[in-house]
Amino acid sequence: MKSRSQDPLRLDVAAFAAEGGELAGQWPGSSLERLAGSQSPPQDTPIADVEWRAAGERRPVTGGEPELWLQLSARTPVWLTCQRCLQPMQEPLAIDCRLRFVRGEAEAEALDAELEDDVLALPRWLDLRELVEDELLLALPLVPRHERCPTPLQFDEGPAGGDEAEIEERPNPFAALEALKKGRSTSGG
């Protein structure tokens, strides 16, 4: 660890990259509220800790400003609901990514579209935990499923459920127009 003390929740990315800083640690799973909220653990089972690591790098560019990079990795087991048997399942979730930081939203957007790497606008202070959480949320499987479901599935081939058409109550735009016209005609003249 370098001499300068760095707060992962209030990280000066430019300085962190310039000094080639490294940070690592564990966060309680409950402190990543969005990730915790998207999990469905069995009763009385706590959300697991998130192990993480971050490294900064400043890459010199000939004839230009040096590039600011952040190497980010994290892992945690997450509780999801199997979409086949609807039972809870624990799955290892991990990220390992490289992010480049540039000055200004416009520049970040342009480069993000152009390059394969993720490009973010350099904030004054970066909340590393929030960024790690964002990346973990993106890495969640869309349709989690046991490789083999623990309980045998029952195939109830019942009649297909009829589709329920939802009838929406909407204000009739013509009624509103009519009311408007009436108001006008009495005052007009």
Residues near Zn ion (CB under 5 A): 82, 84-85, 146, 149
* Residue with tokens 């081939």, as numbered in its chain: 157
Closer to Zn ion by Cβ: residue 32 or 82? 82
The distance of closest approach from Cβ of residue 36 to Zn ion in the complex, given in angstroms and rounded to an integer, is 22
The distance of closest approach from Cβ of residue 155 to Zn ion in the complex, given in angstroms and rounded to an integer, is 14
β partners of residue 59: 67
Closer to Zn ion by Cβ: residue 53 or 146? 146
Residue 25 contacts residue 49 (beta carbons within 8 Å):
no
Secondary structure (H, E, C), 76-103? EEEEEECCCCCCEEEEEEEEEEEEEEEC
The distance of closest approach from Cβ of residue 35 to Zn ion in the complex, given in angstroms and rounded to an integer, is 21
The backbone region for 181, taken as left when phi is positive above 0, alpha when psi lies in -120 to 50, beta otherwise, is alpha
Closer to Zn ion by Cβ: residue 15 or 85? 85
Closer to Zn ion by Cβ: residue 78 or 122? 78
The distance of closest approach from Cβ of residue 63 to Zn ion in the complex, given in angstroms and rounded to an integer, is 56
